[in-house]
A = this chain, B = another copy of it.
């Protein structure tokens, strides 16, 4: 990779990291662009040159955080192709672990309701749809033959539960992941087991 490109990526990452840190202390609405730049050790102008504006910066931030969250969960599913239940447990655990100290999630829950980062996450509706769809595709790819509709039912339920537990935890991420996979597991087992020739038929 050429130096200029690498330098640019480093710059972006540094700025995004700075925002990440600042979001520990205050809500997005209370963090001026100048402070993000200062924390990253660059000038405000550089930030504007690189991202365009406050809104665009926030979008880039959300994209990076979301990508990390989803990638972690998807990796777990792919790594447990032969064991649906372990796949669910791993994905949920990965997500809940990350969510426990993730700024995007905390911003989504705690934040304002007025204008914060949450406003950029288009509304929870879009988040739910996006995550459900993306994980649904992973499920279809991991277990070919799985009915897309069944896949979406599972992932939507898992996503809703994950969000619910991320915003209002009952136990540790590990314990919660295990308990939830215990509940969803039998259903997924049923779907995967019925994958030999017959189309998915739940009584």
Contact = CB atoms under 8 A, between A and B. Distances in A.
Interface size class of A (residues with CB under 8 A): 20 to 34
Interface string A128-144: 10000000000000000
Contacts of A182: 153, 187, 202
Interface stretch (A5-13, A42-50, A158-166): A158-166
A179 B153 contact: yes
A189 B46 CA distance: 60
Nearest to A125: B168
A192 interface: no
A113 interface: yes
Interface string A32-59: 0000000000000000000000000000
Given A124-B168, A153-B183, A185-B187, 13 more contacts: A113-B113, A128-B168, A154-B183, A156-B170, A157-B183, A160-B165, A161-B161, A183-B184, A183-B187, A184-B187, A186-B186, A186-B189, A186-B190
